[in-house]
Amino acid sequence: MTLLLDNAAIAPLIDPTDFVDVLDSAYRAFAAHESCGPPRIDLQGLPKEDNSNYQLGLAVGIGSAGYAALRIKSDMIFTREVDGLKRKEKYCVQPGTYLGLVMVFDATDGGLKAILHDGLIQKMRVGADSALGIRYMAREDATTLGILGAGGMARTHVAAITAVRPIRKIRIFSPTEANRAAFAREIEDRYQIAAEAVGRPEDVYVGADIVSSCANAIGPMIMGRHLEDGTHITCIGGTLDDEANQRVDAALRFGNATAPVELDSWAVEEECLTFAANGRKSEHGAGQRFARIPRERRSLFGELLADPSRGRKRPEDITFSERGNIHGVQFAAVAGRIYEKARDAGVGIELPDSFFLQSIRN
């Protein structure tokens, strides 16, 4: 049987601490060459009359815990400007609806074990990834968090970061005053943590031990001129400006995509590879996410595990962490875990194997 799991079925199964621990194990296995996956792949059609584009996004990987995963997104993508900043937007069929699926395969016999909505999973896996970087790189006594953004990614960051550090104060900036105020109230109600909605983005850096950009933005969001000594940075919305890149003392990247065995020399650090019908990448697609920190200050996870001195050396160091371009390995880990929990809990819709297996050789 194949389980079909929508977001309503998945929601009770998500545990932020569990996600952090699952990714920790998955990334250790990837560093030991026990799993593999290419960069994310985006395919873009020709621009439409309204300047939107169709985009098919794919992430695929074989994990180390017996599962492989294929994530598929089907989107109409476009850009709009909010307070002078470009924001990436998307929909499927109509504004407000989205199509993202994760297919989980059994790596022991090839069977399709589950098809999952990706909405909640993809947000929590990003928050957990940032929290895992904080586990290894932030100061142990980090108690103040500054967040840029007040959407779903910001919420999963709070959930995951509070699982790895004793956060006692959170500052939030979002360009929409009502959104940041509502998010602050939500944090105080849910976590009993002091939360303050601030009126300027630079205010989130004040006294912050951790600064996380979760904004739905294109271009630099972490500004080096605002960073205080001792801060740890995560940035899944926008990227670091040039000054921030230069100020980072030590950076952790969890992995680079697996090189094809057919190529003697191959290295891609970009978050995704884009293939466009007209040969030109749409301005609405994925922006630069990876940092431009000097190589001598960057370490892959395997390097850090082998030599912990490559991480934070002093309390005043500014540190940074990012996933890298191993999306498929990440989805194999977290979606495989959700499938197991759903199976054990007896939730989801069971689809017969005959829907997917055929007697004609493919």
**Lowest-confidence range among 170-184, 242-256, 274-288?**
274-288
Q: 123 Cβ partners below 8 Å, 6+ apart?
A: 152, 153, 155, 156
- The Cα 132–Cα 19 span in angstroms is 9
Amino acid at 271: E
Distances (CA, A) of 348 to 6, 11, 273, 338, 351: 8, 12, 33, 11, 9
pLDDT at position 248 over 60: yes
The label of the residue with tokens 């990876």 reads 290
Q: What is the pLDDT of residue 286?
A: 56
pLDDT at position 93 over 90: yes
Name the pTM for this structure. Answer: 0.92
pLDDT at position 74 over 80: yes
Mean pLDDT of 136-163: 97
Q: Count the Cβ atoms, other than its own, within 10 Å of residue 207.
A: 13
Mean pLDDT of 283-310: 82
Mean pLDDT of 315-344: 96
**Lowest-confidence range among 16-25, 86-95, 101-110, 174-183?**
86-95
- The Cα 185–Cα 142 span in angstroms is 22
Q: What is the pLDDT of residue 86?
A: 74
Structure tokens given for 282? 């749409």
Helix H or strand E encompassing 169 = strand 169-173
- CATH number assigned to the domain with residue range 141-256+294-324, chosen from the 4 options 3.40.50.300, 3.40.50.720, 3.30.2140.20, 3.40.50.620: 3.40.50.720
pLDDT, tens only, 105-134:
999 999 999 999 999 999 999 999 999 999
- The Cα 93–Cα 341 span in angstroms is 31
**How large a percentage of the chain has pLDDT more than 90?**
83
